[in-house]
Structure 1
Amino acid sequence: MKSVFYISIIGVFFSNLVSCSDDFLEVTPKGETIPETLEDYELLFNGIAMTDLMPDILQFATDNSYISHGIEELGKVENAYYWNHNLDYDLEENPEIWKNAYLGQYYSNVVINEIMEAKDGTEAEKRSLMGQAMTIRAMNYLYLLTAFANAYDPERNPDDPGVPLVTSINVTDEIPARSTLKECFDLMTYDLKQAMEWLPETHNNRWRVTRYVAAGVLARIYTYTGQYEEADTYATIALQSPQTNKILDYNAMEVEDFPDLEVNSERLWIDNTPSNYSDCLYSYDLLEYFQEGDSRIRLFTRIDEETGITIRDDADIRSFGISYPEMYLVRAEYLARSGEVNPAMEIVNMLREFRIPEGAPGRELTATNAEEALEMVLAERRRELVFRGTRWMDMKRLDLEGRMPAVHRYVNNDPGDNLIRTLEPGSADYTFEIPMKVLSMNTNIKPNHQQ
């Protein structure tokens, strides 16, 4: 049975999972289209549900962020910023990260389940679109698991609860209970490996997925799960993409010279966030990681005289997709953890050559042992990928390894001022609660925290 798509997306997906209005099924939409051709299915990838996958809420939970406003003005980001159990801002509506991810899953599932019935197109073309949908579905589940489930170690906690794995497009189906972490990650990695067999080598649109993008997503997932050898394997594949792979020389650029996302040679895949971080400032702790003269500060930030250093409104910093620098750093981390000190530092210094001006002290880093190399790789990763959607994942995996220090929230971003809240190592607050409306409407879905 073909799915019906409404021009207004308000009525899409399971009402009790994403909190659409209770009576939407009784309302006749003003416009509808039934996907029948390959082009119809391709058009699904143009909507924000398939391009702006990741709300920025988790960026406010990281140690990179500082919010200048008082508690009463924080609004939707307050619960994330202070690591309160619930991300819910309005108990009548699910938080965007849950709602948007499952909306994207619905569209992905439509393509996965129905594309082979399209009236035209070759089998290879249909499989290619299915591979795109599988990749997007895996990314959405990664975002959901990062927020609403514990960090995953296959050897330590495979049976911990993950999130509901929804693969059906039938809105009358019962919402499934939470799958285990192992079940969730097994589906994601299976999808991505299958997608790599079907996806094209290149695409002239960086919003679209190629086999090397799927490899990059696998590298990110395996990094998050601490499977560093597998992460290195897929990062190496991603770096072999025939699409332009050129690290930009930030030292030779002014703000107005910085390329748009669509033509940025460092971007393998663009996965945007709909927000602009206008209230997000660099934390005191993050600023300590940048040396004087680092071109990343010059290009991506501005000084607000009242609040501090914040992200430039026009900065190319909103894409949470896969980039070549991230893949290089995945490789460097694996090498450092494997005791390959010099190769790891060669990658770090290759990136720094394009970020730190020539002649600046400390431009080239040297490590004397594997632990030093790993610390330097992780520090460079934090600098290079700031506000790119990976820091909360890094905090969670490093906390699981015992490498994450306490994170503090101070008044005025000043460690000498009043302490408001601390996220302690090993804290249960690294996992946010399943949205209250989901729990209230689905008794088979269990909470993370005792109510």
Structure 2
Amino acid sequence: MKKALIIIGVSLTIFFAGCEKDFLDKKPNKALLVPTTLNDFQALLDNNIVFNVNPALNIIAGDEYTVTNNGTGLNILQSNAYYWADDIYQAATVIADWDTPYKQVFYANIILDGLEKLDRNIDPARYDNIKGSALFVRSFAFYNLVQLFAQPYNMETATTIPAIPMPLSSDVNKRPGRGTLEQFYIQLASDLKTSAELLPLIASFKSRPSKWACFSLLARVYLTKQNYRNAFDYAEASLSINNNLIDYNSLDATASNPFPATLPNGNPEVSYNSENLSYAFVRSTVVKFSDDLTSAYEQGDLRKALYFIPSNGRFRGYVGIANDEVFLVRAESACRLGKLDVAGEDLNFLLVRRYKTGTFVPVQGLSQTELLNKILLERKKELVARGIRWTDLRRLNQEPLTAVTLKRKRDQAEIVLLPNSPKYTFLLPNTELGNGIEQNPR
């Protein structure tokens, strides 16, 4: 298997080395070795460097970080993202937040197309697992892409607003247009539901997908769509498989890494491991977490000491899809559906494991609005640096009571990002435009 992975990895690396421009329009080299067996496909799926990676420009553009010196010394792309520049990319032709997820899509499509040529009856359980995994990783990539490169989902406009190109085949001659957001999310949910039917309840390694991870991602998808009934149901389905949460009282904040390593199966909360694209921005000495975030942690809240390294304030929590997010999805959805008791129970179940023993006062007696605001605040404090905050801002800005105006200062000038600004949608790389693919407004 290792040999197969090396062969496939080298072959496709060569292919993608030539795909920095016009990513969706490149034609593959016929001389490349193409995976053809179940062993090949599983080896390809186990390439964590390709699949288990999230975009991160949305984290830079959000409200979790603050730049302390006008961005001097930062990479131009990262500085532009932070200050919401009109032209983020300038002359850059390699946009990792676009290219990496589309690599994931291409790999997944190679597998799905290859499976069509095999006899499922030879090893049906393994065949189904691989197919379900390919559908999951493709869906994960598509979801991450649409949070950056298409406008936020709104039921009233989703049938007319363009989505992103959604290639469902490895044949790059079949270049798709952008379609609509509604079409996009229908396909996304359909693929994830099919994936859930094919995958085991829990994966053997947390770098691999599972039914647990599928239901968790579906809960995230439906929350993004503001479909709170389905978000609630899929959060319940996920937590019925595994509802483990770490009691932060059991962790040592003085350790270099207080959280159990997710891989292969260390962190009991995480259903699917992934990492953010590595940007120097988050390690820069001129970047810190925003005071608005760090001041939100109350006395007794263990998260501040565990999430942020005391010496430099850098983040050391975990990323990926995890149960703490799912509890908060169910809590918010329950609250919006009027199930205040369920919402309060979920919130308290989470928070009692986040506060120093004996200091947490259970949340109770709040109105629906008060409880919702509390849940949304806990999403901000709990899900730090996972790329979720940007999506939350895009979603919550559509409601006047939860809309947020973001502000930066540069050379004493104030830069403002208003709720529902077009700048909540990143530009498509210029190399992808044409053939029916139009640029986003900025």
TM-score by length of 1: 0.86
> Using a 3 Å threshold, how does the CA distance of structure 1 residues 23 and 195 change in structure 2: closer, same or farther?
closer
Distance 2:364 2:377 in 1: 13
Distance 1:170 1:419, change over 3 A: same
Runs of 4+ in 1 over 6 A off after TM superposition: none
| Number of the residue aligned with 2:67 | 67
How far, CA to CA, are the matches of 1:163 and 1:141 in structure 2?
Answer: 8
Q: Which amino acid aligns with 1:275?
A: S
Answer whether contact 1:408 1:422 (CA < 8 A) is retained.
yes
1:56: which partner in 2?
56
What runs of 5+ residues in structure 2 fail to find an aligned partner?
1-6
Q: 1:80 Cα shift? A: 1.7
Q: Which whole-Å deviations, capped at 9, do the CAs of 1:400-433 have from their partners, x for residues lacking one?
A: 223222011136xxxxx94531111221111111
Tell me how far apart the structure 2 counterparts of residues 355 and 6 of structure 1 sit (CA, whole Å): 41
Aligned to 1:217: 217
Structure 2 equivalent of residue 100 of structure 1 = 100
Distance 1:153 1:33 in 2: 43
Give the CA deviation at 1:69. Answer: 4.6
Q: In structure 1, the residue corresponding to 2:329 is in which secondary structure?
A: helix
**How many Å separate the matches in 1 of 2:357 and 2:158?**
46
For 1:74-95, what per-residue CA distance to the aligned partner results, in whole angstroms no more than 9, with x for missing partners? 213112211224442643x231
Distance in 2 (CA, whole Å) between partners of 1:192 and 1:206 is 17
- Find the aligned partners of 1:89 and 1:66 in 2 and give their Cα distance: 23
AA partner of residue 10 (structure 2): I
Per-residue deviation, 1:145? 0.8
Supply the distance in 2 between the matched residues of 1:375 and 1:72 (Cα, whole angstroms).
Answer: 36
SS in 1 for 2:63: coil
Farther off after superposition, 53-62 or 369-378: 53-62
The aligned amino acid for 1:195 is: S
Map residues 48-447 of structure 1 onto 2, 5 A cutoff. 48=48, 50-75=50-75, 76-88=77-89, 90-91=91-92, 93-118=93-118, 121-171=122-172, 173-241=173-241, 245-255=243-253, 256=255, 257-262=258-263, 263-275=266-278, 277-279=282-284, 280-304=287-311, 309-311=313-315, 315-317=316-318, 319=319, 321-360=320-359, 363-402=361-400, 403-410=402-409, 418=412, 420-439=414-433, 442-447=434-439
Cα distance in 1 between the residues matched to 2:225 and 2:395: 7
Alpha-carbon distance in structure 2 between the residues aligned to 1:110 and 1:188: 18
User: Could you report, residue by residue, the CA deviation over 1:170-200 in whole angstroms, capped at 9, with x for unpaired residues?
Assistant: 23x1522211111111110010111111111
1:264 corresponds to which letter in structure 2?
A: N
| Partners of 1:37 and 1:119 within 8 A in 2 | no
Give the AA of the match of 1:366. Answer: Q
SS at match of 2:439: coil
Change (3 A) 1:275 1:350: same
Matched residues in 1 for 2:343 and 2:438: separation? 42
Change in CA separation of 1:234 and 1:87 when aligned onto 2, cut-off 3 Å:
farther
Matched length: 422
Shift of 1:351: 1.2
Change (3 A) 1:233 1:85: farther
d(CA) in 2 for partners of 1:427 and 1:271?
Answer: 29
Closer, same or farther: CA 124–83 of 1 in aligned 2, 3 Å: same
1:18-57 alpha-carbon deviations (Å, 9 max, x no partner): 289x89849x6xxx53322211100111224543321322
Distance 1:220 1:260 in 2: 23
**Aligned CA distance change for structure 1 residues 105 and 129 (closer, same or farther; 3 Å):** same
1:216 Cα offset (Å): 0.9
Q: Which amino acid aligns with 1:347?
A: D
Give runs of aligned pairs for residues 37-52 of structure 1, distance below 5 A.
Answer: 37-48=37-48, 50-52=50-52
Q: 1:316 to 1:40 in 2, by over 3 A?
A: same
Q: Is the 8 A contact 1:105 1:140 kept in 2?
A: yes
Report the secondary structure of 1:33's partner residue.
coil
**Residue 321 of structure 2 aligns to a residue in which SS?**
coil
Q: What CA distance in whole angstroms lies between the structure 2 residues aligned with 1:197 and 1:23?
A: 33
Residue aligned with 1:309, SS? coil
> Equivalent residue for 1:448?
440
- Measure, in 2, the Cα distance between the counterparts of 1:116 and 1:23: 21
Mapped partners of 1:23, 1:339: distance in 2? 52
Q: Which of the residues 11, 14, 38 maps onto 2:15?
A: 11
Are the aligned partners of 2:294 and 2:304 in contact in 1 as well (CA < 8 Å)?
no
Task: Please report how far the alpha carbon of residue 251 of structure 1 lies from its aligned counterpart in structure 2 after TM superposition.
Answer: 2.1
Stretches of structure 1 that go unaligned for 5 or more consecutive residues are 412-416
Q: Is the 8 A contact 1:60 1:66 kept in 2?
A: no
Computed over aligned residues only, the root mean square deviation of the Cα atoms, in angstroms, reads 2.5
Deviation at 1:267, TM superposition (A): 0.7
Secondary structure of the corresponding residue to residue 240 of structure 2: coil
Letter of the structure 2 residue corresponding to residue 144 of structure 1? L
Answer with 10-19 or 221-230: which moved more: 10-19
The separation in 2 between residues aligned to 1:39 and 1:11, in whole angstroms, is 21
**Cα distance between partner residues in 2 of 1:114 and 1:391:** 37
Kept in 2, the 8 Å contact 1:267–1:323? The answer is: yes
1:103-144 residue CA offsets vs partner (Å, 9 max, x unmatched): 110001111111242478513321221111111111111111
Once residues 155 and 332 of structure 1 are traced to their aligned partners in structure 2, the CA distance between those partners, rounded to angstroms, is: 25
Q: Which moved more, 1:188-197 or 1:288-297?
A: 288-297
